Amino acid sequence: MSQILELVKSSIKSIPDYPKKGIIFRDITSLLEVPQAFQATVDLITAHYKDKGITKVVGTESRGFIFGAPVALALGLPFVLVRKPRKLPRETIAQNYQLEYGEDTLEIHIDAISTEDNVLIIDDLLATGGTVEATVKLIRRLGGKVEHAAFIIKLPELGGAERLQKVGITSYNLVSFDGH
Ligand SMILES: O=P(O)(O)OC[C@H]1O[C@H](OP(=O)(O)OP(=O)(O)O)[C@H](O)[C@@H]1O
Ligand SMILES: Nc1ncnc2[nH]cnc12
């Protein structure tokens, strides 16, 4: 692993048994407190997608906002928010999904994506892939094209990358952690 990826990985703290027993919480707030690591995550994702014909970046609430917004700015592209229910003020569509530890709904503004769009989804972490699959469905229901999703962290044992592959999404991640 490169020195910069080592820095990114070592700046993510692991908290056992949070939010419940058996889960090791991979905490990106500690990464955000290391400017060189935060900058590197944004730079690496931006470089990866620079010439891929992306027209919009979508970030999922809430940690996806932290990384999605600076990547969108660095690519010079619009940033679109996918949010938990009743947070978006204009007309929305909703999609239910399963989490590693629960169930939830995500929403998007119907006028935020058009049939002309080729979307990149950004989130902090890929676990089961449920959050991103729901986001993919929202974008496609609005006629947008989406083939790429980027994450800082992948938890390979939870099978998110394979789940996304089945729905035609190629995922890119900076670091991986064993366990749940
Ligand atoms: O691949 P999955 O199994 O769907 O899990 C990953 C998702 O879970 C976490 O978000 P969470 O819903 O906890 O919301 P938060 O970002 O607001 O903390 C994380 O930020 C990802 O969005
Ligand atoms: N293990 C984990 N750590 C941090 N965020 C998560 N979201 C889903 N699983 C997670």
Q: Is 32 a member of any domain?
A: no
Is 15 domain-assigned? no
What residues act catalytically?
63, 100
Q: Which of 15, 61, 131, 132 is the best mutation target for the ligand 1 pocket, counting ligand atoms within 8 Å of the beta carbon and taking the most?
A: 131
Domain that holds residue 98: 51-176
Write the pLDDT tens digit of every residue in 118-159: 999 999 999 999 999 999 999 999 999 999 999 999 999 999
H-state helical runs in 18-128: 29-32, 35-49, 63-75
Helix ranges (H only) for 54-170 are 63-75, 130-141, 160-166
Q: Tell me the CA–centroid distance for residue 28 and ligand 2, in Å.
A: 10
Residue 108 in any domain: the answer is: yes
CA angle 160, 157, 132 (to 5 degrees): 15
Q: Is residue 45 in a domain?
A: no
Token digits of residue 21: 């027993």
Atom of ligand 1 nearest to the CA of 127: 1
Indicate the number of domains in the chain.
1
Q: Is the Cβ atom of 152 under 6 angstroms away from ligand 2? A: no
Assessment of whether the complete model's pTM goes beyond 0.90: yes
CA of 14 to the centre of ligand 2 (A): 10
Q: Is residue 17 domain-resident?
A: no
61 CA distance to ligand 1 middle (Å)? 8
Which pLDDT score, from 0 to 100, does residue 180 have? Answer: 84
Strand partners, 15: 25
Q: Evaluate: CB of 127 within 6 angstroms of ligand 2.
A: yes
The answer to whether position 7 is within a domain reads no
The reply to whether ligand 2 has any atom less than 6 angstroms from the CB of 125 is yes
128, two tokens? 């089961």
Could you tell me the distance, in angstroms and rounded to a whole number, from the CA of residue 85 to the centre of ligand 1? Answer: 14
**Does the residue 125 lie in any domain?**
yes
Per-residue pLDDT of the chain (180 residues; tens, 9 = 90+): 899 999 999 999 999 999 999 999 999 999 999 999 999 999 999 999 999 999 999 999 999 999 999 999 999 999 999 999 999 999 999 999 987 667 999 999 999 999 999 999 999 999 999 999 999 999 999 999 999 999 999 999 999 999 999 999 999 999 999 998
| H-helix segments, the chain | 3-10, 29-32, 35-49, 63-75, 130-141, 160-166
Question: For ligand 2, is residue 177 a contact (CB within 6 Å)?
Answer: no
Domain assignment present for 63: yes
Q: Residue 87's domain is classified under what CATH number?
A: 3.40.50.2020
Which residues neighbour 102 within 8 Å (Cβ) at sequence distance 6 or greater? none
The pairing of beta strand 56-60 with beta strand 118-126: parallel
